[in-house]
Amino acid sequence: MKGIIMLLSPLLLYRPSFYLQHYFDCHRLARENPNEFQRKIHDPIRLLNMLMIWLAIRHAYFAIRRHHIQDRFWDVINSDVMDEVGFDYWSNIFAAALIYKSYQFMNMLYLDNPTAQILDRILILREKKSFYRPYRYNRYSAVNFIVSIIKIWLWFVYYFKINLDFGFISLSITAIEFIWNNFNEFSGLFGYFRLIQCIINRLILFIGLYVFAHVTILMATIGIAYLLTVYIYSWQTDQLLHCDNHHQHRHHNRNNKSSINLRCMLKQFQVRHTKNLERIQTGNIYSRALLIFLLPNIPFNCYLLVFVIFTQTTWIIRFISCSVIIEEFAGIFGIHLLFALANRQFQKSSITFMHILAKKHQHINRHIYIANRLKIINYGQNFHAKNKYGFTYGKLELITMNECVKYLLLYSQLLMFIYVHIVFRRYH
């Protein structure tokens, strides 16, 4: 239990300035002392994995039972909060999928994240040499720029943390109110067992919700930081080509020096661009996380929106539901946008490189040896392909602005589907 509390402590005692420190301390421990990591981190995660799988199965059972039997007393005792707030049995199916998503996120973050070390150097150690010279993005230090964005994001997340605590308080009040109104059902020895069962189930529910919130926030934060990192790497690589073009324009009469500069620039670009591609491939963990996030969250967000619009409920439930809708909508399309921008910047440097090859092909043919020339041309041809390089939906399709629009259309279609098949049939 101590290890679980330690894992969840960054969210329980939320301080934006130290939220990521604990996460990267875990990864340093894995590198420096694997045995200690096994005891302090890996074993508690295995327990949490078992808890989340059990909760997912439990909510699937709630959905099946609720479809056939409606028992308010049983639902409160067993903490079927979806029924308590007025949702139908479909909500428990979504809940099971969301819990399984958090199970996947937890393992990806703590046990299988190859990007942790580079992000540790940028976000915690703040090593400016983690980026290319002159270590800047526009007028800002690249490291300071990313750290500032993440700090702003974490302060925004504090609003989500307040809503989470508010939701816990409201669910606790609901349970206490129900027990008070049905006090006779909790008298006697059997009634005391019911009360203990209710308290234990509510405690397990709160732990599960905190795990869900923690890994979702952490995955979003780490993912945003890595996408910004790849974006800046690609921007710096693109600036290398523009700077060299300007330099060659100033020295257009010095052919020998110009050819040396061009050869060095193209070689340096190849090195940087290849490293950027390797970083994108390493960051495919976030592509998989995006796909895992989209599959349950898009239909659940549509379901919540339909619920808020067409169902009468208390203002507290309506407020919490609207907060979740806004946060999920921002996650679905905001993170999507960052993926598309990172891919676009990477493709931009590739296009600039091919433009230089086309524009200066005569100069390249005259002043660069054939072996080096063939390597450069072959490298350019690799990126002149129908299937572009970049972040994908779990290795399925490249993430672009067009795909973001497609998901917006899918969102609206699911909204109509859920209205017709759930709400309309329920009330008509």
Radius of gyration of the chain (CA): 27
pLDDT of residue 192: 83
- Would you state the structure tokens that stand for residue 398, as one six-digit string? 């490249």
pLDDT of residue 266: 73
Query: Pick from 200, 201, 100, 216: which is nearest to 164 by CA?
Result: 216
* DSSP β-ladder status, 140-141 and 136-137: antiparallel
Separation CA 245–CA 392 (nearest Å): 32
* Amino acid identity for residue 359 in this structure: K
pLDDT of residue 65: 84
SS (H, E, C) 3-28: HHHHHHHHHHCCCHHHHHHHHHHHHH
* C-alpha dihedral sign at 178, 179, 181, 182: positive
One pLDDT digit (tens) per residue for the chain, 428 residues: 666 777 777 777 777 667 788 889 888 988 888 888 888 888 889 989 999 999 999 988 888 887 777 777 777 787 777 777 777 778 888 889 999 999 999 999 998 889 999 999 999 989 888 888 888 888 889 999 999 999 888 888 887 777 777 777 877 887 888 888 877 777 777 778 888 888 888 888 888 888 888 898 899 999 999 999 999 998 988 887 776 554 454 444 455 555 556 667 777 777 888 888 888 888 889 988 888 888 888 888 877 877 777 777 777 777 777 777 787 777 777 888 888 888 888 887 776 666 666 555 555 545 454 445 545 555 555 555 555 677 877 666 777 777 667 766 766 666 666 665 655 555 55
pLDDT of residue 253: 47
* C-alpha dihedral sign at 49, 54, 57, 58: negative
pLDDT of residue 382: 54
Q: Please count the other Cβ atoms lying within 10 Å of the Cβ belonging to residue 209.
A: 18
pLDDT of residue 428: 52
Q: Please count the other Cβ atoms lying within 10 Å of the Cβ belonging to residue 210.
A: 17
CA distances from 74 to 83, 185, 201, 243, 348 (A): 10, 11, 12, 70, 59
Q: Evaluate whether 61 touches 127 at the Cβ level (below 8 Å).
A: no
Separation CA 346–CA 234 (nearest Å): 5
Predicted model pTM: 0.84
* Amino acid identity for residue 27 in this structure: H
Reduce the DSSP state of residue 137 to 3 states and report it. strand
HSE-CB of 224 using CA atoms within 13 angstroms: 24
DSSP 392: B
Q: Please count the other Cβ atoms lying within 10 Å of the Cβ belonging to residue 75.
A: 19
Query: Pick from 106, 74, 323, 95: which is nearest to 222 by CA?
Result: 106
SS (H, E, C) 252-263: CCCHHHHHHHHH
Provide the residue ranges of all domains of the chain, joining segments of one domain with +.
2-427
Q: Please count the other Cβ atoms lying within 10 Å of the Cβ belonging to residue 157.
A: 21
